[in-house]
């Protein structure tokens, strides 16, 4: 090795050792400063503790709310495709107008041509009054559906049973009553099962009571006055095979968008080109809900981050006071050969350690809450390590940004004037 190369290697090693020694000395001075003013620095760190914990808790609560909302919507049926007749009429002879509604045959055609369907049900709607005995009547909405409607719509049976294929094929006169209507007519859910009603003078037996697993706030075909009866029976009462909607359930949720297009194409091919049908799927709602929840979580996280900014102002004020209190010390260090860079690094290090210390404590507090809930309760709160990284990174950034001004002020002090400071 040449003499020049050897000297360069020696200088590099010496500079590295000097840098390590200076940094070690800076840390020691910072720790001595913290010990000298414990109460002030602990109060200053409190804002960082609250801010860091808030970020983690806000993200945790946002993820929990998002998961809860998605679970509720998923319970309606993410694998469901709902075909709706939108409109489309044509003028016939003598100015008559005919509508191009869907029929039960459309359902059968789709089942034959679209793979992956594990359940389907037509839905015909009919409004009428029912007799409950002793001349009492009640206006209700009758929905004619197939036995698979229960699984396709993921309904909960509260009492009794849902009608089966045998009931549908034999045109059994049974009715399934929604929970609010059962309580209104018969006093309770259990009392409703086995009761007799009449529809257009035909006796029916209430075989079960149901409810939707998720409150839809009037956004579904089921209302508080709904009764379900077998579709063949309703078709007999109305004298028509027209259906308002057809429900399909797919085996694979990932195939729902593709299946919806195929189902719509099959039904469209069986009707006039001007007739409009709509394929409604829950996957789109799930995606929108997830986006809304993510946006709300982001907004709340930014709001929590404001706490860290406010805490940064407190750190800056504390460090400025610290610079004023240690003016003579700064002058002595400069007189002994400390450079502006070393003075700046000293106070910047103290600011970062102060901010990071509060961030670490706040992070531990924020992590402990969801972990404690999971250990002590049956609830499972989702937890994101990304929120921990954000909280710690923000703490360091706050320390650097709000510690720069005090550090620059300390570094720019005049050594002669600082030695005269009392």
Question: Are 189 and 334 within one domain?
Answer: no
pLDDT score at 149: 92
pLDDT score at 5: 47
Name the E strands within 196-303. Answer: 196-199, 202-212, 226-230, 242-243, 245-250, 276-281
Question: Are 321 and 248 within one domain?
Answer: no
Q: Which helix (H) or strand (E) holds 272?
A: none
216, 243, 270 - which closes a domain: 270
242, 270, 298 - which closes a domain: 270
Question: Are 242 and 334 within one domain?
Answer: no
Question: Are 173 and 246 within one domain?
Answer: yes
Residue 115 in domain? yes
Query: What one-character-per-residue DSSP string does 229-246 give?
Result: EEHHHHHHHHT--EESEE
User: What residues make up the domain containing 223?
Assistant: 101-270
pLDDT along the chain (422 residues), means of 10: 48 46 60 66 80 84 77 69 78 55 90 91 90 81 92 89 92 93 90 90 92 68 90 89 88 84 92 86 73 80 78 82 77 78 81 85 87 80 79 85 84 70 54
pLDDT score at 292: 80
243, 270, 297 - which closes a domain: 270
Question: Are 141 and 252 within one domain?
Answer: yes
Question: Are 119 and 179 within one domain?
Answer: yes
Question: Are 246 and 110 within one domain?
Answer: yes
Question: Are 111 and 151 within one domain?
Answer: yes
Question: Are 262 and 363 within one domain?
Answer: no
Question: Are 239 and 266 within one domain?
Answer: yes
Residue 306 in domain? yes
Residue 86 in domain? no
Question: Are 218 and 125 within one domain?
Answer: yes
Residue 368 in domain? yes
How far is the C-alpha of 300 from the C-alpha of 399, rounded, in Å?
Answer: 22
SS (H, E, C) 327-392: HHHHHHHHHCCCCHHHHHHHHHHHHHHHHHHHHHHHHHHHHHHHHHHHHHCCCCCCCCHHHHHHHH
pLDDT score at 109: 92
Helix (H, G, I), strand (E, B) or coil at 254: helix
Question: Are 227 and 314 within one domain?
Answer: no
Residue 145 in domain? yes
Number of domains observed in the structure of the chain: 2
In the beta sheet, which residues pair with residue 129? 139
Instruction: Give the strand pairing for 136-145 and 226-230.
Output: parallel
């Amino acid at each position: 090795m040449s003499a020049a190369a050897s000297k360069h290697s020696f200088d590099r090693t010496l500079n590295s050792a000097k840098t390590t020694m200076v940094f070690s000395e800076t840390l020691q001075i910072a720790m001595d400063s913290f010990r000298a003013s414990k109460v002030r620095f602990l109060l200053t760190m409190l804002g960082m503790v609250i801010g860091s914990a808030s970020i983690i808790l806000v993200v945790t609560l946002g993820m929990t709310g998002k998961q809860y909302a998605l679970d509720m919507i998923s319970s309606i049926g993410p694998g469901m495709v709902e075909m709706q007749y939108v409109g489309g009429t044509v003028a016939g002879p003598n100015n008559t107008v005919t509508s191009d509604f869907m029929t039960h045959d459309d359902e059968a055609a789709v089942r034959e041509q679209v793979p992956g369907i594990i359940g389907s049900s037509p839905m015909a709607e009919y409004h009428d009054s029912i007799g409950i005995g002793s001349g009492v009547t009640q206006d209700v909405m009758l929905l004619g559906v197939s036995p698979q409607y229960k699984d396709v719509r993921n309904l909960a049976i509260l009492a009794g049973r849902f009608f089966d294929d045998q009931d549908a094929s034999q045109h059994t006169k049974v009715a399934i009553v929604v929970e609010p209507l059962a309580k209104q007519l018969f006093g309770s859910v259990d009392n409703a099962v086995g009761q007799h009603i009449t529809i257009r003078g035909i006796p029916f037996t209430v075989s079960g009571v149901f409810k939707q697993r998720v409150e839809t706030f009037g956004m579904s075909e089921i209302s508080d006055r709904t009764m379900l009866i077998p579709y063949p029976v309703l078709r007999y009462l109305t004298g028509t095979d027209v259906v308002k909607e057809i429900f399909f359930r797919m085996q694979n949720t990932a195939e729902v968008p593709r299946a919806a297009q195929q189902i719509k194409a099959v039904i469209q091919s069986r009707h006039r080109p001007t007739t409009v049908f709509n394929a409604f799927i829950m996957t789109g709602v799930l995606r929108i809900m997830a986006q809304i929840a993510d946006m709300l979580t982001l907004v709340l996280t930014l709001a929590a981050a404001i706490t860290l900014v406010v805490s940064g102002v407190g750190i800056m004020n504390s460090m400025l006071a610290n610079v004023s209190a240690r003016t003579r010390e700064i002058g002595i260090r400069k007189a002994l050969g400390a450079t502006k860079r070393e003075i700046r690094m000293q106070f910047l290090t103290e600011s970062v350690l102060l901010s990071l210390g509060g961030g670490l404590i706040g992070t531990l507090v924020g992590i402990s809450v969801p972990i404690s809930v999971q250990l002590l309760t049956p609830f499972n709160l989702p937890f994101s390590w990304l929120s921990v990284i954000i909280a710690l990174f923000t703490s360091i950034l706050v320390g650097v940004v709000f510690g720069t001004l005090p550090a620059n002020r300390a570094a720019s002090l005049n050594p002669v004037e600082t030695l005269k400071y009392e």
